[in-house]
Amino acid sequence: SGIIKAESIIPNGLSNELHPVHVLTREEMDGALAESDSVHYVGKIDLEIYKCVTKDIITDEVIMTDERIRHIKDHHPNDFERYQSYIALMLCEPDYILENEPNTALVLKEFLEGEEKFRLVLRLETSCDNPEYKNSVITFMKTNSKKWRQNLNNKKILYSRK
In degrees, rounded to 5, the angle at the alpha carbon of residue 118 between the alpha carbons of residues 117 and 122 is 155
Residue 68 CA to residue 51 CA, distance in Å, equals 24
Longest dimension (CA), the chain: 42
Does residue 21 contact residue 106 with C-beta atoms inside 8 Å? yes
pLDDT tens digits, one per residue of 3-51:
333 333 333 333 333 334 445 555 555 555 555 468 999 999 999 999 9
Buried b or exposed e, range 32-50, using 16+ CB within 10 angstroms: bbeebeebbbbbebeeebb
- Do β-strands 61-65 and 39-44 pair in parallel, antiparallel, or remain unpaired? antiparallel
Q: Given this model, what pLDDT does residue 120 score?
A: 95
Task: State whether residue 125 is helix, strand or coil.
Answer: coil
pTM: 0.75
Residue 4 CA to residue 48 CA, distance in Å, equals 25
Residue 69 CA to residue 73 CA, distance in Å, equals 6
Does residue 103 contact residue 23 with C-beta atoms inside 8 Å? no
Residue 17 CA to residue 9 CA, distance in Å, equals 22
Mean pLDDT value across the chain? 82
